[in-house]
Structures are given as structure tokens and as C-alpha cells.
């Protein structure tokens, strides 16, 4: 009798534990948001400090790019593996290990005495970031399952993803101007300390949800293929698109990533189950993240150049100048996820957001050497933020909705991979196009100070125009790929995935 009654005694205890965890969900969101913000910030926070770091460590202009590239190479190429590892060891463990490793790498970078030490530190940062970022999004996906609360949570996460780069510029400018370039790395220790403390006390010890053998052929082809792809774009930025190493990297990337897809179709335990990306809503959302990421990185880069070199803004004032975009992006991130996405689905929202962002960028093509921030930069910057907020938050929410717990880590990694690859593409492509536009402007003109300034502005506005066209093309494709109607429930989507998997098998 006592044994028969045992389940009735256990269930209330489990329910009580779940209820306590549920009550902590918004504090958990704060911990996850801080952790993700640290990763996003490091994509831009070091950029402003590079000239100062270069002077302190005595490295060349050609070497300077590797401080940025080392981070993006490790981060972008290891994300899929990081997502699967988080499924193996548990998301809480992955989050704590990722935060701790990221903090130690940041401390190493801040203590750098030469160029190589700083590059190694940035590489290790990227590797632990690739473990950390998928764990954050997977925990967010499994913590918030109620549609209304999920909308709020993903709205906040989407705002962080979209605005983190701008906040990195602001924080980097403040730390470089009033402290030291080393503090752009040391500040991560504070973020990590908060994240680790919150994770230890607020997250429950989740068991690993994936006990399948690791797909080593998939790991090798995906990691090296993504590495070659990111390296190719980074190398094109510093050399040319026709450089032998650039072309070779793209060829290798195409061969390896093509092999990866074939391996995933046949593998019994694939690294990236194709059911995650062949769903129209998920695939369209990942594509939208890639397109929006490429445009946003270009805006941060060239608008920073314009504000500092043409309008004479200080690094701190440049960061402050981006805050209206952050505010407008945050507003539409919340509205899109809470109000609009549950009613109309992602199909009207994401293309509309891309069209609005493209409109803001076309507006920026009118900037000149005598333009003012308030009259000429601020209005299109706000429009851009409103548009990007309609893209990032719904895309992230839709890309992770309805995935099985077994696949949450790798699905989250796919979102981060799309944004990271998009940023690499955008930075390299727009840098090349901007340099070509500046050179074309000076053809037949004397290189006076005024003409050089005009050429620089022409290169920036050309980059804004190309970014706008990228978003226009993205809007058309997203409208064709994404499904109409409100999204299905997680349970329905999961059942649909199982049916597709059984049919394909």
C-alpha cells in the first residue's frame, strides 16, 4: 500500500519545484539577457579600442583586422558544435562553462603584452562564446513556453540581438576614453560574474537531452566549412575578392558545406537535423536573420565612420548617437512579438520590417559633409530601428518555436550562426563596395581635403544604399518563403516535424 501511494507523494513535490522555477522565470530572463549581451557586445566593443590597443602593443594596420577576425572565426565556425555540446552536457552546465571560459579569455586579453597574446585571447573568447550563445537561447526557449510570455521574453532577447552592437560602441567609447582599452575586455568579468551567480542559484540542473553519438563527420565538415567561409569574407575585406586565398577559401567552404548537407541527409544522428531548417517558417526566419545581420553590421561600421570622421563626434558621443535606434528597436521588438506575431504570424511582419529598414537606409544615402545629426541622421536612424525590431524578434521567436527539447540547442545555434555569417558577409562585401565607391569618386578629381572628405561620405552613403538593396531582396524572399497565418502551437509544430521525419525515413 505504501508503495502504491508513493507516486501520489512524489507528484506534489515535483509540481512545487516546477512552480518555484516558474516564479523565477523573469529573473532567469535577466541572467540570460546579460549573458547574451556580453557575447553581442564583444562583436563591436573592441573595435573602438583598436587604435589605442595598436599603439600600446605596437602592431601594424594589417594585423589590426585579426583582432576582430579571430573572434568571429572561432565564434562563427564552432556555433553548431557548441549547440550540440550544450544538449549533451546540459544547458546550465554549458552556460556556466561558457561564461567562465569567456571571462578567463577576456582577462587574458586585457593582460596582453603583445599582438599574438591578444589574438589568442580573442580566439578563445569566440570559442567559449560559441558554447554560451546557443545555451542562452535554448534555455530561453525551454523556460518560456506560454505564448504570451514567450512573446515578451523573445521581444527582449530580439532587442538585445539587434541593439547589442550599438551598445557595444557606446560602452567601448566610454571605457576607451575614460579608462583604458583593456577595460573593453575586463568589463566582461562583471557580466560573467553576474551570469554565473544567477545561473548557479536560479537555473535548475537540467539533464542532458541528447545521448546520441556525436556526428564527427558532420562536426568536421561543418566546423571547417564555416571557418573557411568566414575566413574568405574576412580575407576579401583586407585584400580583394579575386585574391587566391579568398577564392580558395570560398571553394573549400562550398565543398565542405555541400558535403555537410549530404552527410546530414544520411547520418543516423546528424549534427544539424535537416527537419530544423527545411520547415518554411524556420528556414525563412534563419534567412531573415542572415540578411538583417549583414545590413546591421554595415550600418554600425559606416555610420560610426560618418559620425566620427565627417561630423567630428567623439567615441562616446558616437555611441550615444545610436541610442534612439536602440529605443525604437526595443519598442517594435516588444510590439511585434507580444501583439502582432500571435495574430498574423511572421510573414507580414518580417518583410515589412525589412522594407522599413531599407527605407531608413535609402534616407541615409542623402547624407553629406554638411549634414546635421538632428535633422539628417536621427530621423532615418529611428526608422531603421523600428524596422529591424520587426525582423529580429519575430525571426528568433519563429526559428526556435516548436522544436523538440532534443533539438533546442542546435536550433538556437543555427540562429546565432545565421546572424554571425550575415555580419561577416555584410562587413566584407560593404567594405569592398565602399572602397570602390570612394576610388571612383576621386577619378578625374584632385585629391584636395574637400574632395577626399566628399569621397569618404560617398563611400558611406553607397554602403547604405547597397545595404538597403540587400534588405529589399531579403523582404521579397522572406515574403515568398514564410507561411501565412498565426504560428501553430509548439506541440503542433513538434508533431508536424515528427510526421515529416517519419515520411522522409
Q: Is residue 3 part of a domain?
A: no
Q: How far is CA 431 from CA 237, 364, 434, 463, 497, in A?
A: 6, 17, 5, 8, 40
Same domain, 166 and 66: yes
Cell 545555451 found at = 135
Per-residue pLDDT of the chain (505 residues; tens, 9 = 90+): 444 444 444 444 446 666 777 788 899 999 999 998 998 888 788 877 888 888 899 887 667 778 888 888 899 889 989 988 888 888 899 999 999 999 999 999 999 999 999 999 999 999 999 999 999 988 998 888 787 788 888 888 888 887 888 888 889 889 988 889 999 999 999 999 999 999 998 888 776 565 678 889 999 999 999 999 988 888 887 788 889 999 999 999 999 999 999 999 988 888 888 888 888 999 999 999 999 988 887 788 899 889 988 999 988 898 899 999 999 999 999 899 889 999 899 999 999 999 999 999 999 999 999 999 999 999 999 999 999 999 999 999 999 888 877 778 888 889 888 988 888 888 888 888 888 899 999 998 988 999 999 999 999 999 999 999 999 999 999 999 999 887 665 444 444 444 444 434 4
Non-local (6+) Cβ contacts of 484 within 8 A are: 345, 347
Angular region, 90: left φ>0, alpha ψ -120 to 50, beta rest? left
Q: Is residue 290 part of a domain?
A: yes
Q: Which of 204, 134, 148 is nearest to 396 (CA)?
A: 134
DSSP type of residue 206? P
Q: How far is CA 25 from CA 198, 201, 268, in A?
A: 12, 12, 35
pLDDT of residue 207: 65
Q: Which three cell numbers stand for residue 369?
A: 559633409
CA dist., res. 25 & res. 403, Å (int): 20
Q: Which three cell numbers stand for residue 204?
A: 535548475
Q: Which three cell numbers stand for residue 230?
A: 568566414
Coil, helix or strand at residue 126? helix
CA dist., res. 319 & res. 168, Å (int): 8
Same domain, 222 and 210: no
Q: Is residue 108 part of a domain?
A: yes
Q: Is residue 115 part of a domain?
A: yes
Same domain, 93 and 180: yes
CA dist., res. 76 & res. 42, Å (int): 13
Which three-class secondary structure string do you get for 167-214? HHHHHHHHHHHHCCCCHHHHHHHHHHHHHHHHHHHHCCCCCCCCCCCC
Q: Is residue 4 part of a domain?
A: no
CA dist., res. 48 & res. 46, Å (int): 6
CA dist., res. 44 & res. 187, Å (int): 13
CA dist., res. 391 & res. 384, Å (int): 11
CA dist., res. 24 & res. 29, Å (int): 9
Same domain, 256 and 161: no
Same domain, 354 and 416: yes
Radius of gyration for the alpha carbons in the chain, expressed in angstroms and rounded? 23
Quick count: other Cβ atoms within 10 Å of Cβ 207?
Answer: 10
CA dist., res. 462 & res. 456, Å (int): 10
Non-local (6+) Cβ contacts of 309 within 8 A are: 456
Residues 373, 374, 380: CA angle, nearest 5 degrees = 80
C-alpha 96 chain-centroid distance: 20
Q: Is residue 504 part of a domain?
A: no
Instruction: Give the domain-ending residue among 253, 270, 287.
Output: 270
Same domain, 207 and 220: no
pLDDT of residue 503: 38
Q: Calculate helix-pair angle for 25-41, 91-110, nearest 10 degrees.
A: 40
Strand ranges inside 4-120, DSSP E: none
DSSP type of residue 310? I
Same domain, 209 and 65: yes
Q: Is residue 255 within 8 Å of 222, Cβ to Cβ?
A: no
383-404 burial: b if 16+ Cβ within 10 Å, else e: bbbbbbbbbbbbbbbbbbbbbb
Same domain, 342 and 491: yes
Q: Is residue 59 part of a domain?
A: yes
pLDDT of residue 1: 42
Same domain, 276 and 264: no
Range of the domain at 248: 215-270
Q: Is residue 6 part of a domain?
A: no
Instruction: Give the domain-ending residue among 270, 294, 310.
Output: 270
Instruction: Give the domain-ending residue among 229, 255, 270.
Output: 270
Same domain, 320 and 384: yes
Q: Which CATH number belongs to the domain containing residue 204 in this structure?
A: 1.20.1250.20
Q: Calculate helix-pair angle for 408-442, 61-89, nearest 10 degrees.
A: 160
Please state the domain count of the chain.
2
Same domain, 373 and 246: no
Same domain, 159 and 300: yes
Amino acid at each position: 500500500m505504501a508503495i502504491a501511494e508513493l507516486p501520489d507523494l512524489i507528484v506534489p513535490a515535483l509540481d512545487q519545484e516546477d512552480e518555484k522555477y516558474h516564479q523565477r522565470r523573469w529573473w532567469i530572463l535577466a541572467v540570460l539577457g546579460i549573458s547574451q549581451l556580453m557575447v553581442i557586445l564583444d562583436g563591436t566593443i573592441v573595435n573602438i579600442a583598436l587604435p589605442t590597443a595598436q599603439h600600446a602593443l605596437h602592431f601594424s594596420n594589417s594585423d589590426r583586422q585579426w583582432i576582430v577576425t579571430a573572434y568571429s572565426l572561432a565564434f562563427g565556425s564552432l556555433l553548431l558544435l557548441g549547440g550540440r555540446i550544450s544538449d549533451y552536457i546540459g544547458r546550465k552546465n554549458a552556460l556556466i562553462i561558457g561564461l567562465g571560459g569567456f571571462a578567463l579569455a577576456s582577462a587574458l586579453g586585457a593582460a596582453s603584452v603583445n599582438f599574438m597574446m591578444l589574438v589568442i585571447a580573442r580566439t578563445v573568447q569566440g570559442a567559449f562564446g560559441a558554447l554560451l550563445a546557443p545555451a542562452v537561447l535554448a534555455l530561453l526557449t525551454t523556460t518560456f513556453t506560454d505564448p504570451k510570455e514567450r512573446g515578451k521574453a523573445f521581444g527582449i532577447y530580439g532587442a538585445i540581438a539587434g541593439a547589442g552592437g550599438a551598445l557595444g560602441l557606446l560602452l567601448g567609447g566610454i571605457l576607451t576614453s575614460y579608462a583604458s582599452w583593456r577595460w573593453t575586455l575586463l568589463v566582461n568579468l562583471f557580466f560573467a560574474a553576474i551570469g554565473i551567480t544567477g545561473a548557479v542559484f536560479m537555473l535548475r540542473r537540467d539533464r542532458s537531452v541528447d545521448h546520441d553519438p556525436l556526428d564527427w563527420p558532420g562536426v568536421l565538415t561543418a566546423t571547417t566549412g564555416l571557418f573557411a567561409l568566414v575566413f574568405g569574407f574576412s580575407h576579401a575585406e583586407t585584400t580583394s575578392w579575386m585574391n587566391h586565398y579568398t577564392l580558395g577559401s570560398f571553394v573549400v567552404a562550398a565543398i565542405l558545406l555541400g558535403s555537410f548537407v549530404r552527410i546530414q541527409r544520411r547520418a543516423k544522428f546528424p549534427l544539424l537535423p535537416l527537419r530544423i531548417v527545411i520547415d518554411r517558417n524556420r528556414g525563412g526566419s534563419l534567412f531573415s536573420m542572415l540578411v538583417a545581420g549583414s545590413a546591421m553590421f554595415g550600418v554600425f561600421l559606416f555610420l560610426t565612420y560618418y559620425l566620427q570622421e565627417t561630423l567630428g563626434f567623439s567615441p562616446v558621443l558616437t555611441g550615444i548617437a545610436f541610442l534612439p535606434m536602440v529605443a525604437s528597436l526595443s519598442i517594435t521588438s516588444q510590439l511585434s512579438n507580444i501583439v502582432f506575431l500571435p495574430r498574423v504570424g511572421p510573414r507580414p511582419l518580417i518583410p515589412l520590417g525589412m522594407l522599413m529598414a531599407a527605407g531608413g537606409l535609402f534616407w541615409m544615402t542623402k547624407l553629406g559633409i554638411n549634414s546635421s545629426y538632428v535633422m539628417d541622421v536621427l530621423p532615418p536612424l529611428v526608422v531603421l530601428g523600428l524596422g529591424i525590431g520587426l525582423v529580429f524578434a519575430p525571426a528568433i521567436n519563429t526559428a526556435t518555436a516548436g522544436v523538440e527539447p532534443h533539438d533546442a540547442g542546435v536550433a538556437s545555434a543555427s540562429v546565432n550562426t545565421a546572424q554571425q555569417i550575415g555580419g561577416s558577409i555584410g562587413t566584407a562585401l560593404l567594405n569592398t563596395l565602399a572602397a570602390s565607391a570612394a576610388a571612383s569618386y576621386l577619378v578625374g578629381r584632385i585629391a584636395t581635403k574637400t574632395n577626399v572628405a566628399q569621397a569618404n561620405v560617398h563611400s558611406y552613403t553607397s554602403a547604405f544604399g547597397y545595404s538597403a538593396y540587400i534588405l529589399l531582396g531579403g523582404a521579397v524572399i522572406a515574403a515568398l518563403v514564410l507561411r501565412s497565418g498565426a504560428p501553430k502551437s509548439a506541440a503542433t509544430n513538434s508533431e508536424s516535424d515528427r510526421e515529416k521525419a517519419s515520411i522522409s525515413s
